[in-house]
């Protein structure tokens, strides 16, 4: 180890704490920026460069460093997004909130070999912009640099697996094993692309469902998208939900449909038209059921009418075995709990049926 290298390592050991703090500060800041921008991300992590990694970088062939700040990734933040197409959206947000140093930044999607799927991330070297650097909480970091990596969750998974196997260099593997690595990389890249296409298809389907809700609901099968659209737009569902909220003294919040897909499936309701008819036919009973069944609470989710509808329809069978099977199918796994709830549902139904 040369005297210069040893000096740089000792110097970095002394200067490392601010980079550790800077990394954590940027992690929190970037997470908040993405949240405000409405970008759904998998994770944001940070790290200051380890002493061992710093030393290894100094020893790389063809590299000469005269001061420790020549290394631009002493702070690092990694943003993992769900889909590969999100990388560019996140990149634009980063550019709009920080000063990006193009001379140190690289889009590895353009420069990596075709087999290097896991390393197809976007690398920015950034610093705080002038406005934020003048704020009291950031002033001490104004001259520090940070490398920001942006990649999809599948790219990240591949890179982590390949790193743990210890084969980051393609020359470290025999030819037949290397070929299998290439095939796997290709499969993951195809999967990444297919997830993007799936998202586009779901978006297109949602737009079509939105039109069919009001035109041909008879032909529209119940699924998460169609049920969400129906509860959002249905006057009858809205009226019943608001009536239940009034009974409970509760605020209606958001929308909850996922749990009720099992309810409706068990009851044999297959189309939006069938659901709409069932709600209209049972609307008075649903409200009466809610008056007895629910207790006061601060808020409830939109779609609560579906729970009451399910309980009323299954109670109409007057069949304890069917009611028990229904409750088990929708998530009540404890037998004693099912027995108690079954009795409650039947008792309430008998009360409202005689009104």
DSSP-based three-state secondary structure for 93: helix
Q: Is the pLDDT of residue 207 over 90?
A: no
Q: Are residues 16 and 164 in the same domain?
A: yes
- Among 143, 164, 189, the domain-final residue is 189
Q: In this structure, is residue 199 part of a structural domain? A: no
Cα 3 from Cα 237, distance rounded (Å)? 76
Q: Are residues 150 and 257 in the same domain?
A: no
Q: What pLDDT is stored for residue 85 in this prediction?
A: 84
Cα 28 from Cα 305, distance rounded (Å)? 40
Q: In this structure, what token pair is assigned to residue 121? A: 């991330």
Q: Are residues 23 and 128 in the same domain?
A: yes
For 167, 172, 178, the CA distances from 111, given in Å and listed in that order, are 19, 21, 20
Q: In this structure, what token pair is assigned to residue 177? A: 């094993």
In terms of Cβ atoms closer than 10 Å to its own Cβ (0-12, 13-18, 19+), residue 256 is middle
Q: Are residues 106 and 15 in the same domain?
A: yes
Q: Are residues 228 and 162 in the same domain?
A: no
Q: In this structure, what token pair is assigned to residue 307? A: 């729970």
Q: In this structure, is residue 202 part of a structural domain? A: no
Which residues, other chains included, contact 129 with Cβ-Cβ below 8 Å and sequence gap of 6+? 97, 98, 99
Q: Is the pLDDT of residue 280 over 90?
A: yes
Q: Are residues 148 and 293 in the same domain?
A: no
Q: What pLDDT is stored for residue 148 in this prediction?
A: 94
Q: Are residues 60 and 106 in the same domain?
A: yes
Q: 319: how many CB neighbours lie within 10 A of its CB?
A: 13
Q: Are residues 176 and 289 in the same domain?
A: no
Q: Is the pLDDT of residue 142 over 80?
A: yes
- Among 165, 189, 213, the domain-final residue is 189
Q: Are residues 13 and 82 in the same domain?
A: yes
Q: Are 122 and 51 in contact (CB under 8 A)?
A: no
Instruction: Name the pTM for this structure.
Output: 0.67
Which residues, other chains included, contact 236 with Cβ-Cβ below 8 Å and sequence gap of 6+? 276, 279, 280, 283
Total structural domains in the chain? 2
Q: Is the pLDDT of residue 173 over 80?
A: no
Q: For 229-247, what is the mean pLDDT?
A: 93
Backbone angles phi and psi of 234, in degrees to 5 = -75, 125
Cα 313 from Cα 28, distance rounded (Å)? 49
Cα 75 from Cα 211, distance rounded (Å)? 50
Q: For 222-228, what is the mean pLDDT?
A: 92
- Among 162, 189, 216, the domain-final residue is 189
Q: In this structure, is residue 13 part of a structural domain? A: yes
Q: 232: domain range?
A: 224-353
Q: Tell which residue, 337, 353, 257, 246, has the closest CA to residue 303.
A: 257
Q: Tell which residue, 82, 72, 66, 67, has the closest CA to residue 49.
A: 72
DSSP state of 321: H
Q: Are residues 179 and 228 in the same domain?
A: no
- CATH code where residue 75 lies: 3.30.460.10
Q: Is the pLDDT of residue 113 over 70?
A: no
Q: Is the pLDDT of residue 116 over 70?
A: no
């Amino acid at each position: 180890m040369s005297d210069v290298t040893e000096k740089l390592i000792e110097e970095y050991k002394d200067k490392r704490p601010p980079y550790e703090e800077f990394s954590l500060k940027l992690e929190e800041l970037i997470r908040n920026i993405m949240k405000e921008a409405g970008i759904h991300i998998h994770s944001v992590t940070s790290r200051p460069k380890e002493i061992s990694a710093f030393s290894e970088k100094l020893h790389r062939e063809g590299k000469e460093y005269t001061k420790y700040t020549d290394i631009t990734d002493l702070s690092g933040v990694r943003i993992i997004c769900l889909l590969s197409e999100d990388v560019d959206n996140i990149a634009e947000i980063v550019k709009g909130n920080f000063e990006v140093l193009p001379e140190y930044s690289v889009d590895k999607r353009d420069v990596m070999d075709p087999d290097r799927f896991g390393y197809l991330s976007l690398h920015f070297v950034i610093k705080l912009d002038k406005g934020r650097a003048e704020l009291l909480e950031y002033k001490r970091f104004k001259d520090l640099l940070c490398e920001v990596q942006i990649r999809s969750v599948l790219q990240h998974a591949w890179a982590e697996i390949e790193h743990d196997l210890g084969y980051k260099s393609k020359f470290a593997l025999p030819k037949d094993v290397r070929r299998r690595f290439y095939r796997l990389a290709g499969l993951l890249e195809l999967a990444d692309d297919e997830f993007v296409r799936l998202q586009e298809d779901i978006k297109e389907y949602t737009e079509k469902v939105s039109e069919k809700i009001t035109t041909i609901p008879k032909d529209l099968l119940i699924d998460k998208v169609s049920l969400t659209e129906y509860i959002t737009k249905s006057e009858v569902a809205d009226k019943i939900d608001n009536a239940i909220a009034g009974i409970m003294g509760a605020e209606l919040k958001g929308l909850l449909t996922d749990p009720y897909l099992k309810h409706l499936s068990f009851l044999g309701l297959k189309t939006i038209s069938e659901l709409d008819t069932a709600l209209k036919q049972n609307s008075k009973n649903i409200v009466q059921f809610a008056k007895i069944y629910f207790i006061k609470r601060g808020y409830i989710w939109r779609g609560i009418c579906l729970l009451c509808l399910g309980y009323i329809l299954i109670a109409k069978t007057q069949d304890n075995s069917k009611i028990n099977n229904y409750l088990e199918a929708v998530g009540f796994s404890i037998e004693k709990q099912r027995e108690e709830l079954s009795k409650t549902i039947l008792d309430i139904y008998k009360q409202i049926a005689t009104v």
